[in-house]
Amino acid sequence: MNTLHLKRSALAALLSSGFVTSAHAADDATDTLVNIDLPTGLVQEVQNALPESANVNQEYLNTDYNPNITFQSDAHVGITFLDEGAGYRNSLGYFTFADDTFDSLSFGDIDTNNDGHVAIKELTSVSGITAGMIFNNVSETGGGGSLNAGDTVVLGGANITNVNGTDFDMTGGTTFSDGTNMGFFVLQNAWSGKKVNSWDNNKNTLAMYTVDFLNPENSASATSDNTDINARHVAMMNSLSADNDIIIGFEDLVRPYGDNDFNDAVFRIRTDPVDAMYAFVPTTQTVINMQAAPAPAMGKSMSGMALMAFGMMVMYRRRKPGKKA
């Protein structure tokens, strides 16, 4: 059953749970929170694609595709929590940027204190960057937080309306403009129970981004066209069981250390209108099938595997269930 919360009742529930505090209740997007029905099998599909404590399939990390989204018309954006396997109480946010925002910058240009990682306040000091919090604590119920699969928020102060099964609309608030790029970030173990460290104060919390060259594996000379081999921190895919919705899973530890399972914060992205974003991503089912298949022999079988990998990449344009584009 869909559970539609009015803003005040949702906020009251979150406050009573300790998920946010009154001092920072408006800092993330949870005052718009609605629990939306998920397509049957979606969470299991995600867990199969990103199994706990298992190295993620490298096809999800293929650098031929860009793990950020671009708007091809003005749009509202909804974010749905699906799963998390983190030992930390991480915080999830987003940032927007133009095509040329990072063109003349290196990692060292943005890492102004030269400590080897780009803090969120260093990123937001870059001209053309805007950022906001999505979930102050992106931890699930029973795992240090209060989120449940299907909990959905809208960015920009819009409201979720016309909930119908797995479908919903987004109205009011502000929209993101045609041509805008949107990325996401995780602040590692940033939720203190009262504040998001480095967002609400000057603590220097480690951040992981969907823009590869911003991540801590890089050298000071790294640029958007020249990043470390381990600098990708998100597995991005589309889901066949969820009408090809975009799914993103974060790895919250510096790579290649840790478990590299990329399930530390897993969420779905949806836009209204439904065809407002695109991304070049693999499908979950194809990669799951590749994981189950025998490893290819060396030689000409490798070329077949390369063709298979190419075939699984799709240019994404999601269509809302039951509606024609």
Note whether residue 16 is domain-resident.
Answer: yes
Note whether residue 321 is domain-resident.
Answer: no
Instruction: Give residue 295's domain range.
Output: 7-315
With a cut of 50, which residues of the chain have pLDDT below it? 1-26, 291-325
Span 94-113, pLDDT tens digits: 999 999 999 999 999 999 99
CB burial class (10 A; 0-12, 13-18, 19+) of residue 111?
buried
Sign of CA dihedral 146, 152, 156, 157: negative
Taking the C-alpha atoms of residue 267 and residue 69, their distance in angstroms, rounded to an integer, is 14
Taking the C-alpha atoms of residue 44 and residue 58, their distance in angstroms, rounded to an integer, is 20
Q: How many domains does the chain have?
A: 1
Note whether residue 323 is domain-resident.
Answer: no
CB burial class (10 A; 0-12, 13-18, 19+) of residue 228?
middle
Note whether residue 291 is domain-resident.
Answer: yes
Note whether residue 1 is domain-resident.
Answer: no
Q: What is the dihedral of CA 41, 44, 46, 47, to 10 degrees?
A: 180
Q: Specify the 3-state DSSP secondary structure of 131.
A: strand
Dihedral-angle region of residue 282 (phi above 0 means left; psi in -120 to 50 means alpha; beta otherwise): beta
Note whether residue 274 is domain-resident.
Answer: yes
Dihedral-angle region of residue 172 (phi above 0 means left; psi in -120 to 50 means alpha; beta otherwise): left
Note whether residue 320 is domain-resident.
Answer: no
Closest by Cα among 137, 140, 159, 136 to 149: 140
Distances (CA, A) of 68 to 37, 207, 242: 25, 16, 19
Taking the C-alpha atoms of residue 240 and residue 283, their distance in angstroms, rounded to an integer, is 7
Taking the C-alpha atoms of residue 214 and residue 7, their distance in angstroms, rounded to an integer, is 35
Contact 308, 57 (CB under 8 A): no
**Cα-atom radius of gyration of the chain, to the nearest Å?**
19
Distances (CA, A) of 3 to 10, 160, 162: 10, 11, 12
Taking the C-alpha atoms of residue 208 and residue 215, their distance in angstroms, rounded to an integer, is 6
Say what the pLDDT of residue 230 is.
93
Say what the pLDDT of residue 244 is.
55
Say what the pLDDT of residue 13 is.
41
Say what the pLDDT of residue 287 is.
58
Which DSSP symbol is given to 283?
B
Note whether residue 324 is domain-resident.
Answer: no
Sign of CA dihedral 111, 115, 118, 124: negative
Closest by Cα among 238, 312, 233, 313 to 269: 238
SS (H, E, C) 137-153: CCCEECCCECECCCEEE
Taking the C-alpha atoms of residue 199 and residue 11, their distance in angstroms, rounded to an integer, is 20
Prediction pTM value: 0.81
Span 278-305, pLDDT tens digits: 776 666 666 556 544 443 333 333 333 3
Beta strands 234-239 and 207-209 are unpaired
